[in-house]
Amino acid sequence: MYNDQIITEKQHQQWFKNVNSSKTEHYFIFTIDHTDTGFVSFKDVDHKNNHCYWGFYIGEAQSPKGSGSVMGFLALEWAFQQLEVEKVYGEVLSNNEKSLSYHQSLGFSKEGHFRKHIVRNNNYLDVIRYGLLKEEWIAEKPKVMKKLAERGIDKKDLDTNFNELMI
């Protein structure tokens, strides 16, 4: 997700209309304790080649520590189990150290480096492409669960919901 522009009401309405009719896009609101906390999207779902693009964000700076890790865990579980894809890929701005580290912590591997790919504030930024294969996720999942447990997070005990955005 590269967009940092303010979205108008008309743009929101058009987006909702498009989401409602799409077979290749899925959107989720992540909630903790009945509070909307984050957003995950799976786009460009390709069932022939079994891959999809993902994007996400945590909306509140005051979100409980580890919210992003739990959200990522649940999102990847959904993608590999429900969408039945073999690969999830995403792109990260090279100056977003937190997101670069986040992808690596979930087991993603760097697959590409797009130099001077995006312009922000009249400066070019590189974009890093990450990919995660289903078999890599299966191998990485216990490590991610262990890291969550070490941080005092038990995904079964959290009052979390990962709900598809229905319009």
Tokens of residue 36, six digits = 């909307």
Q: pTM here?
A: 0.83
Q: What share of the chain is helix, strand, coil (3-state, %, to 5)?
A: 35, 35, 30
Q: Are 48 and 23 in contact (CB under 8 A)?
A: no
What was the pLDDT predicted at 1?
Answer: 53
What per-residue confidence (pLDDT) applies to 79?
95
Give dist(CA 50, CA 145) in Å, integer: 25
Q: Domain 24-157 belongs to what topology?
A: Aminopeptidase (3.40.630)
pLDDT of residue 20: 61
pLDDT of residue 167: 36
The residue extents of the domains of the chain are: 24-157
Weakly modelled stretches of the chain, pLDDT under 70 = 1-5, 7, 9, 12-13, 15-22, 60-61, 155-167
